[in-house]
Chains A and B, each alone.
Chain A
Amino acid sequence: MSHTTMNLNLKVWRQKNANTPGAFEMYRVENISDEMSFLEMMDILNEQLITTGGEPVAFDHDCREGICGMCSMYINGKPHGPWQANTTCQLHMRAFKDNDTIVIEPWRANAFPIIKDLTVDRSAFDRIIQAGGYVSVNTGNAVDGNTLPIEKAKADEAFAAAMCIGCGACVAACKNSSAMLFLSAKVSHLALLPQGGPERKTRVTNMVAQLDKEGFGACTNTGACEAACPKEISIANIARLNKEYIVAGLTSE
Chain B
Amino acid sequence: MIDAKIPTGDLDKKWEDYKGHCKLVNPANKRKMEVIVVGTGLAGASAAASLGEMGYKVKAFCFQDSPRRAHSIAAQGGINAAKNYQNDGDSVFRLFYDTIKGGDYRAREANVHRLAEVSTNIIDQCVAQGVPFAREYGGLLSNRSFGGTQVQRTFYAAGQTGQQLLIGAYQALERQVALGNVQMFARHEMLDVVKVDGKAKGIIARNLVTGELERHFGYAVLLCTGGYGNVFYLSTNAMGSNVTAAWKAHKQGAYFANPCFTQIHPTCIPVSGDHQSKLTLMSESLRNDGRIWVPKKKGDDRKANDIPEEERDYYLERRYPAFGNLVPRDVASRAAKERCDAGYGVGTSKQAVYLDYAAAIERYGKTEVSKKGLSNVSHEEIIALGKEVVKEKYGNLFDMYAKITGENPYEVPMRIYPAVHYTMGGLWVDYELQTSVPGLYALGEANFSDHGANRLGASALMQGLADGYFVIPYTLGNNLADEIYNAPIPTSHPAFEAAEKTVAERIARLKNINGKQTVESFHKRLGKIIWDKCGMARNAEGLKQAIAEVQALKKEFWSDVRIPGEINEYNPELDKANRVADFIELGELMCVDALAREESCGGHFREEYQTPEGEALRDDENFMYVAAWEAKGEHEWSLHKEELKYDVIKPSQRNYK
Contact (Cβ within 8 A) A143 B564: no
Contact (Cβ within 8 A) A146 B129: no
| B residues near A62, Cβ cutoff 8 Å | 64, 69, 71, 238-240
Contact (Cβ within 8 A) A121 B65: yes
**Looking at the complex, which one of A119, A126, A159 makes contact with B68 (CB distance below 8 Å)?**
A126
CB proximity of B543 to chain A, nearest CB, Å? 30
Interface string of A39-52 (1 = CB under 8 A from B): 11001100101110
Q: Complex: how many Å from CA A37 to CA B400?
A: 12
Say yes or no: is A224 at the interface (Cβ < 8 Å to chain B): no
Interface string of B53-76 (1 = CB under 8 A from A): 100000000001111111101100
| B residues near A193, Cβ cutoff 8 Å | 130, 132
| B residues near A129, Cβ cutoff 8 Å | 170-171, 174
| B residues near A148, Cβ cutoff 8 Å | 127
- Quick check: which of B159-167, B320-328, B452-460 contacts chain A, the rest being far away? B159-167
Besides A69-B68, A144-B124, A166-B66, 6 new A-B residue pairs in contact (Cβ under 8 A), listed by A number: A39-B277, A51-B518, A63-B69, A68-B64, A92-B404, A155-B134
Interface string of A167-201 (1 = CB under 8 A from B): 00000000000000000000001100101100000
| A residues near B136, Cβ cutoff 8 Å | 152
| Interface members, chain A 94-114 (any B CB < 8 Å) | 94
Contact (Cβ within 8 A) B569 A60: no
**Looking at the complex, which one of A55, A70, A189 makes contact with B132 (CB distance below 8 Å)?**
A189
Contact (Cβ within 8 A) A64 B65: no
| A64 and chain B: residue at smallest CB distance | B278
**Contacts A116-B570, A159-B164 given; does A195 touch B564 at CB 8 Å:** no
Partner-B contacts on A (CB < 8 A)? 1, 16-17, 33, 35-37, 39-40, 43-44, 47, 49-51, 53-56, 58, 60-70, 83, 86, 90, 92, 94, 115-116, 119, 121-123, 125-126, 129-131, 133-146, 148-152, 155-156, 158-159, 162-163, 165-166, 189-190, 193, 195-196
Say yes or no: is B90 at the interface (Cβ < 8 Å to chain A): no
**Looking at the complex, which one of B140, B278, B564 makes contact with A54 (CB distance below 8 Å)?**
B564
Contact (Cβ within 8 A) B164 A134: no
CB proximity of B505 to chain A, nearest CB, Å? 23
Contact (Cβ within 8 A) B238 A68: yes
| Interface members, chain B 27-78 (any A CB < 8 Å) | 46, 49-50, 53, 64-71, 73-74
Contact (Cβ within 8 A) B69 A47: no
| B residues near A139, Cβ cutoff 8 Å | 46, 49-50, 53, 125, 172, 469-470, 473
**Looking at the complex, which one of A39, A50, A125, A152 makes contact with B573 (CB distance below 8 Å)?**
A50
Say yes or no: is B626 at the interface (Cβ < 8 Å to chain A): no
Q: Complex: how many Å from CA A33 to CA B406?
A: 13
Total interface residues on B, CB under 8 Å, equals 82
| B residues near A130, Cβ cutoff 8 Å | 174-175, 177-178
Q: Complex: how many Å from CA A225 to CA B67?
A: 24
CB proximity of A34 to chain B, nearest CB, Å? 8
| B127 and chain A: residue at smallest CB distance | A145
**Contacts A135-B130, A146-B140 given; does A43 touch B277 at CB 8 Å:** yes
**Contacts A123-B65, A126-B174 given; does A152 touch B139 at CB 8 Å:** yes
Say yes or no: is B302 at the interface (Cβ < 8 Å to chain A): no
Contact (Cβ within 8 A) A68 B124: no
CB proximity of A135 to chain B, nearest CB, Å? 5
| A residues near B74, Cβ cutoff 8 Å | 63, 65, 67-68
Which of B124, B134, B407, B573 has the most chain A CB atoms closer than 10 A to its own CB? B124
Say yes or no: is B137 at the interface (Cβ < 8 Å to chain A): yes
CB proximity of B45 to chain A, nearest CB, Å? 12
- Quick check: which of B10-18, B268-276, B436-444 contacts chain A, the rest being far away? B268-276
Contact (Cβ within 8 A) A196 B137: no
**Contacts A68-B64, A138-B53 given; does A40 touch B132 at CB 8 Å:** no
Q: List 13 A-B contacts (CB under 8 A).
A: A17-B569, A17-B570, A35-B272, A35-B275, A37-B404, A47-B518, A126-B67, A134-B129, A139-B46, A146-B85, A148-B127, A149-B138, A162-B157
CB proximity of B355 to chain A, nearest CB, Å? 17
Say yes or no: is B635 at the interface (Cβ < 8 Å to chain A): no
| B69 and chain A: residue at smallest CB distance | A68
CB proximity of B22 to chain A, nearest CB, Å? 15
| Interface members, chain B 569-601 (any A CB < 8 Å) | 569-573
Say yes or no: is B83 at the interface (Cβ < 8 Å to chain A): yes
Q: Complex: how many Å from CA A126 to CA B571?
A: 23
| Interface members, chain B 246-276 (any A CB < 8 Å) | 272-273, 275-276
| B241 and chain A: residue at smallest CB distance | A62
**Looking at the complex, which one of B138, B171, B238, B403 makes contact with A92 (CB distance below 8 Å)?**
B403
Q: Complex: how many Å from CA A8 to CA B170?
A: 40
Which of A130, A143, A189 has the most chain B CB atoms closer than 10 A to its own CB? A130
Contact (Cβ within 8 A) A61 B239: yes
Contact (Cβ within 8 A) B124 A67: no
CB proximity of B565 to chain A, nearest CB, Å? 6
Q: Complex: how many Å from CA A156 to CA B68?
A: 21
Contact (Cβ within 8 A) B141 A146: yes
Q: Which A-B residue pairs are the 3 nearest by beta carbons?
A: A149-B139, A134-B171, A142-B128
Which of A1, A67, A136, A166 has the most chain B CB atoms closer than 10 A to its own CB? A67
Say yes or no: is B319 at the interface (Cβ < 8 Å to chain A): no
CB proximity of B428 to chain A, nearest CB, Å? 26
Contact (Cβ within 8 A) A134 B175: yes
Contact (Cβ within 8 A) A35 B273: yes
| A residues near B280, Cβ cutoff 8 Å | 64-65
Say yes or no: is B516 at the interface (Cβ < 8 Å to chain A): yes
Say yes or no: is B551 at the interface (Cβ < 8 Å to chain A): no
Say yes or no: is B476 at the interface (Cβ < 8 Å to chain A): no
Q: Complex: how many Å from CA A127 to CA B78?
A: 29
| B272 and chain A: residue at smallest CB distance | A35
Contact (Cβ within 8 A) B124 A64: no
Interface string of B130-163 (1 = CB under 8 A from A): 1011111111110000000000000001101001
Contact (Cβ within 8 A) A115 B132: no
Q: Complex: how many Å from CA A39 to CA B564?
A: 19
Contact (Cβ within 8 A) B473 A135: no
Contact (Cβ within 8 A) B128 A195: yes
Q: Complex: how many Å from CA A159 to CA B277?
A: 30
Say yes or no: is B186 at the interface (Cβ < 8 Å to chain A): yes
Contact (Cβ within 8 A) A66 B238: no
| A residues near B186, Cβ cutoff 8 Å | 123, 126
CB proximity of B357 to chain A, nearest CB, Å? 19
Say yes or no: is B332 at the interface (Cβ < 8 Å to chain A): no
